[in-house]
């Protein structure tokens, strides 16, 4: 089993605080910039799995930073540097407390709600007569409230977001506009690699000077669902499952082993063999999404490597 990075405990010069999310750890440097470290932690159903996945942090970080560079002409983002394969550095932002989820297809959570008879998701109508993985007439935005640590993210409508003052109307219009533009570009990038971008989520923040920017991750297999374009239509016609490129394969494995993050359920044992297959799937995801061969970073001592690279950058 390769070395993995599950947890960090750095003390960088000018460090004010550290925030630990499900997968990323964010160090505040002098209230001006953030050092975001993508760990190898795996989260599903809002639960962090006990073991790390080799190279997962590097894969997520490199996909996200690559996609930010591929969309910065459309939407400004927080990123300024990538001093290490697992690290992104960017501007300190105040995050909006909503995740902008956008769906081009009836899949995942939307499909589960649809099967349960619901036709309204986050205040948005879903047409009658659809089957799982069908394409929506146009993409729908179905926001979720950002959970504080540990809690589940919750569906919320645009009306509720505005009524509760979570985001001002002026800002929310920008978030919607940016979300649609990013999804359109992501769809085009995916299509050029033989993929379909099914659904994804974006997070935004405000810089000190009041600019709204894209933060966190974009178009990664943790935040997005992809299908292979080849054979999509045939599978839909035959009612077969789509060939997916996303974290959904982990969720399905957990469901088949009796785990959906519900109270009283125990996380099933992930053997070393299974973890290796998950790591290989993530590498496959990277190579398909980015269109390049994945180059494994030196993992003989990940903590020291990250610390040395970040210290060198902060000089």
Q: What is the CATH number of domain 95-246?
A: 3.30.470.20
Secondary structure class of 35 (helix, strand, coil): strand
Q: Phi/psi class of residue 229: alpha, beta or left (left: φ > 0; alpha: ψ in -120 to 50)?
A: alpha
Domain layout of the chain by residue ranges: 95-246
Predicted pLDDT of residue 250: 87
**CB contact at 8 A, 95 and 215:** yes
Question: What residues have CB less than 8 Å from 314, skipping those under 6 apart?
Answer: 12, 13, 14, 29, 35
- pTM for this predicted structure: 0.90
* Apex 135 CA angle, 129 and 138, nearest 5: 100
**pLDDT tens over the chain, length 315 residues:** 458 999 999 999 999 999 998 899 999 999 999 999 999 999 888 888 889 999 999 999 999 999 999 999 999 999 999 999 999 999 999 999 999 999 999 999 999 999 999 999 999 999 999 999 999 999 999 999 976 554 567 899 999 999 999 999 999 999 999 999 999 999 999 999 999 999 999 999 999 999 999 998 999 988 899 999 999 999 999 999 998 877 778 888 899 999 998 888 989 999 999 999 999 989 988 999 999 999 999 999 999 999 999 999 999
CA distance 277 to 56: 12
């Amino acid at each position: 089993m390769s070395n993995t990075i599950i947890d960090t405990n750095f003390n960088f010069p000018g460090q004010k605080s550290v925030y630990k999310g499900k997968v990323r750890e964010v160090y505040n440097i002098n209230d001006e910039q953030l050092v975001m470290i993508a760990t190898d932690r795996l989260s599903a159903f809002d639960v962090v799995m006990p073991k790390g996945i080799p190279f997962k942090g590097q894969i997520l970080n490199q996909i996200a930073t690559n996609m930010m560079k591929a969309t910065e002409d459309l939407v400004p983002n927080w990123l300024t540097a990538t001093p290490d394969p697992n690290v992104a550095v960017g501007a300190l932002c105040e995050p909006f407390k909503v995740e902008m989820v956008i769906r081009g297809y009836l899949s995942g959570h939307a499909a589960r709600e649809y099967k349960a008879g619901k036709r309204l998701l986050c205040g948005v109508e879903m047409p009658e007569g659809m089957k799982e993985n069908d394409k929506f007439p146009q993409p729908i935005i179905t926001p979720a409230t950002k959970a504080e640590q540990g809690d589940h993210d919750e569906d919320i409508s645009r009306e509720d977001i505005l009524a509760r003052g979570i985001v001002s109307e002026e800002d929310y219009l920008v978030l919607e506009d940016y979300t649609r533009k990013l999804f359109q570009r992501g769809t085009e990038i995916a299509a050029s690699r033989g993929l379909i971008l099914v659904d994804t989520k974006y997070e935004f923040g405000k810089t000190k000077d009041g600019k709204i920017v894209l933060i966190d991750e974009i178009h990664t297999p943790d935040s997005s669902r992809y299908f292979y374009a080849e054979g999509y239509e045939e599978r839909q016609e035959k009612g077969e499952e789509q060939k997916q490129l996303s974290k959904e394969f982990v969720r399905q494995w957990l469901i088949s082993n009796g785990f959906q993050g519900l109270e009283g359920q125990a996380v099933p044992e992930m053997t070393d063999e299974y973890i290796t297959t998950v790591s290989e799937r993530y590498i496959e995801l990277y190579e398909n999404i980015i269109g390049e061969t994945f180059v494994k970073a030196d993992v003989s001592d990940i903590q020291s490597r990250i610390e040395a690279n970040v210290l060198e950058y902060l000089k």
